Amino acid sequence: MVRPKSRVHFMVGYMLCRADIKSFVDIILNLRAQNRNLTAFRGACRCPYLYRASYSIRAMTLNEVTISRAILEEQHRALIDHLEVEAAVIGGGPSGLTCAALLGERGIRCALIEKKLSIGGGMWGGGMMFPRIVVQEEAKRLLDRFEVTFHEFEKGYYVAKSVEAVAKLTAAACDAGVEFFNLVTVEDVMVRGDGRVGGLVINWTPVEMAGLHVDPLTIACTCTVDATGHDAMIARMIERKGGNLKVKGESFMWAERAESRILEHTKEVYPGLFVTGMAANAVAGECRMGPIFGGMLLSGERAADLVAKALAR
Ligand code: 48H
């Protein structure tokens, strides 16, 4: 049976097959000129009729040096443009991604710094490498908000695919204008005369891994969010250097308690420094919760609210 959606795909494909290449290009340029959302077009590209019509077997003209220059110039500009930001989120796990996406959606200039190659933190692995996450009733609306597919396993327990959840949170942050700096480690913070965390000391992760003696660079930020997970790395840096902040370290597994309390622990713990996700529970000496991720999403959302309020002051 031909579904209505397939029929639309067929019609679009048929029309484009018949059009000459110039009109095809005109359609695309026209869509771009009108600054329309290309989602519909991308959907049509998945249509086999259109796909067949859109590739070419002609040789391509490509210059390796142009490719290199494109990468270097663009990323160099992105870094320079983000040397001063309103908000820096450290850690691209579920809480950091949620926080960054919601800050970006508010129009706040936000950089997300992740020391690993991939974004997603501990969410990829679900529970013991079974790539599924569980989210409770209270956080289901955030799955909806980020368009993560889920189903109810039992009343109040929703299951989603961890890969999809990482992908959709990351896509939301990208769409909201968040700039990602992966493979970059925050190795220290900047605290000056006003006693606030006012910047981050960054270096390439491979420099740290290789133990090379290479001096770092610095970026300035009005608000910093420690979303570094169980280790609460940024809060610990402040504690280690004598700042008035005690990191109690996370406690035993107790999902109900850990998830119920995480929002209380999501707060500004030092002037200019906010904690979210597991870092919030680690600073507070609170329990861990295992592979239920609602608290991470809710905590990221609360951190974004608190940062937005602080920036508005
Ligand atoms: C740059 C850094 C640095 C640094 C670390 O661990 P995460 O996924 O963190 P959360 O809090 O968003 O999510 C926690 C969740 O994944 C989890 O582990 C749960 C729910 N556990 C419960 C339980 O009982 O075990 O992500 C933190 C990210 C990682 O990607 C790190 O690589 C990154 O922070 N990071 N990035 N500079 N100094 N330190």
- pLDDT for 213-238, tens place per residue? 999 999 999 999 999 999 999 999 99
Residue nearest to atom 30 of ligand 1 (CA): 121
pLDDT band at 269 (very low <50, low <70, confident <90, very high): very high
4 or 254, which is more confident?
254
Residues 42 and 168 occupy one common structural domain: no
The pLDDT value recorded for residue 206 is 98
Residues 121 and 229 occupy one common structural domain: yes
71 in a structural domain: no
The pLDDT value recorded for residue 56 is 79
Residues 46 and 105 occupy one common structural domain: no
Closest residue by Cα to residue 227 from 306, 154, 127, 310: 306
Residues 149 and 233 occupy one common structural domain: yes
For residue range 44-81, list pLDDT tens digits in order.
556 655 556 667 788 999 999 999 999 999 999 999 99
Range of the domain at 302: 83-310
Give the relative orientation of helices 94-105 and 294-312 as an angle to the nearest 10 degrees.
40
For residue 142, is pLDDT > 70?
yes
For residue 36, is pLDDT > 50?
no
For residue range 147-195, list pLDDT tens digits in order.
999 999 999 999 999 999 999 999 999 999 999 999 999 999 999 999 9
High-pLDDT (> 90) share of the chain, %: 81
The pLDDT value recorded for residue 49 is 59
**Domain at 195, CATH number:** 3.50.50.60
For residue 298, is pLDDT > 90?
yes
64 in a structural domain: no
120 in a structural domain: yes
The pLDDT value recorded for residue 57 is 83
Q: How far is the CA of 302 from the centre of ligand 1 (A)?
A: 17
For residue 2, is pLDDT > 50?
no
High-pLDDT (> 70) share of the chain, %: 83
Print the SS3 string covering the chain.
CCCHHHHHHHHHHHHHHHCCHHHHHHHHHHHHHCCCCCHHHHHHHCCHHHHHHHCCCCCCCCCHHHHHHHHHHHHHHHHHHCCEEEEEEECCCHHHHHHHHHHHHCCCCEEEEECCCCCCHHHCCCECCECEEEEEHHHHHHHHHCCCCEEEEECCEEEEEHHHHHHHHHHHHHHCCCEEEECEEEEEEEECCCCCEEEEEEEEHHHHHHCCCCCCEEEEEEEEEECCHHHCHHHHHHHHCCCCCCCCCCCCECHHHHHHHHHHHCCEEECCEEECCHHHHHHHCCCECCCECHHHHHHHHHHHHHHHHHHHC
Please report the atom of ligand 1 found closest to the CA of residue 276. Answer: 11
CA distance 192 to 281: 27
Residues 180 and 286 occupy one common structural domain: yes
Are 278 and 234 in contact by the 8 Å Cβ rule? The answer is no
For residue 33, is pLDDT > 80?
no
Number of domains in the chain: 2
Residue nearest to atom 21 of ligand 1 (CA): 290
65 in a structural domain: no
Residues 112 and 27 occupy one common structural domain: no
Residues 122 and 30 occupy one common structural domain: no
Instruction: Report residue 103: phi and psi, to 5°.
Output: -70, -45
Residues 223 and 297 occupy one common structural domain: yes
Mean pLDDT, the chain, integer: 90
pLDDT band at 35 (very low <50, low <70, confident <90, very high): very low
100 or 28, which is more confident?
100
Ligand 1, pocket-test mutation among 98, 102, 112, 114, most atoms within 8 A of CB: 114
Pairing of strands 197-204, 150-154: unpaired
For residue range 240-252, list pLDDT tens digits in order.
999 999 999 999 9
Residues 16 and 121 occupy one common structural domain: no
59 in a structural domain: no
Residues 103 and 41 occupy one common structural domain: no
Residues 203 and 278 occupy one common structural domain: yes
Ligand 1, pocket-test mutation among 278, 297, 301, most atoms within 8 A of CB: 278
Residues 122 and 193 occupy one common structural domain: yes
Model's pTM, two decimal places? 0.86
Question: And the tokens for 57?
Answer: 């077997």
Residues with a CB atom less than 6 Å from ligand 1: 90-96, 113-116, 121-123, 185-186, 227-229, 233, 253, 277-279, 288-290, 293, 296
Q: In the predicted model, what is the mean pLDDT of residues 275-298?
A: 98
The pLDDT value recorded for residue 14 is 57
For residue 15, is pLDDT > 60?
no
76 in a structural domain: no
Q: In the predicted model, what is the mean pLDDT of residues 273-287?
A: 98
Q: How far is the CA of 122 from the centre of ligand 1 (A)?
A: 6
